[in-house]
Chains A and B, each alone.
Chain A
Amino acid sequence: KQEVTQIPAALSVPEGENLVLNCSFTDSAIYNLQWFRQDPGKGLTSLLLIQSSQREQTSGRLNASLDKSSGRSTLYIAASQPGDSATYLCAVYSNYQLIWGAGTKLIIKP
């Protein structure tokens, strides 16, 4: 059974710092891995999607990596801003379903 874990559960850093969020999964038989952002009352927004054959994806200040063999993904956020404050969730697509981690709540202090 696929399980997805995110560490840490919460993170608070000063504005301007670079930071890394971690995601691990137990079964390497995934189709892709996706990082989402969730803001209160605003649902989920897809940030980056990495296919199982890819190693990383980049969008602006965000970079996501995928190591399928070790069951790990990281989301790197460069030069963090207060507007980056949100909950970040990773999800793997396998067996026609998205299997989600519990998320990392990120607070960027001005």
Chain B
Amino acid sequence: DAGVTQSPTHLIKTRGQQVTLRCSPKSGHDTVSWYQQALGQGPQFIFQYYEEEERQRGNFPDRFSGHQFPNYSSELNVNALLLGDSALYLCASSPYEVVTNEKLFFGSGTQLSVL
């Protein structure tokens, strides 16, 4: 079992550009959540996807959008990048029938640097 996989591991973009990050959930998991972790801070919840729909959303602007595919993999898109978007982006997967965090697994993250 490969666990949760994220790609790419590192990414460098310039202000104003757009970026797409990818996540494959752990085998047997159908729900994907995305988190942003700024340096020296705890992760912050961006949104959660299940059945190809956004189910929950944190306090992030519409520049942050996502998608879930029929195979449960997910993408996080960020438009009009700002310097403040520089962070580690973490993907977590879980089975939806467990509505809490009790079977949540995290990927290693994508480190995004915006110059």
Report which A residues bind B (CB closer than 8 A): 4, 31-32, 34, 41-46, 49, 89, 91, 93, 96-103
Contacts and interface: CB of A to CB of B under 8 A. Distances in A.
A16 B60 CA distance: 43
Nearest to B41: A102
Nearest to B44: A100
Contacts of A31: 100
A89 B101 CA distance: 15
A34 B9 CA distance: 26
13 contacts: A31-B100, A41-B9, A43-B90, A43-B107, A44-B90, A46-B104, A89-B42, A89-B43, A93-B100, A96-B56, A97-B45, A101-B42, A103-B40
Contacts of A42: 108
B43 A34 contact: no
Contacts of B56: 96-97
Contacts of A32: 100-102
Interface in B85-115: 90, 99-102, 104, 106-109
Interface of B is mostly: loop
A47 to B, nearest CB: 12
Interface of B: 4, 9, 40-45, 56, 58, 90, 99-102, 104, 106-109
A42 B9 CA distance: 11
Contacts of A98: 43, 45, 101, 104
B97 to A, nearest CB: 14
A98 B33 CA distance: 11
B42 A91 contact: yes
A31 B98 CA distance: 13
A43 B106 CA distance: 6
Contact of B108 (A34, A43, A49, A102): A43
A45 B4 CA distance: 12
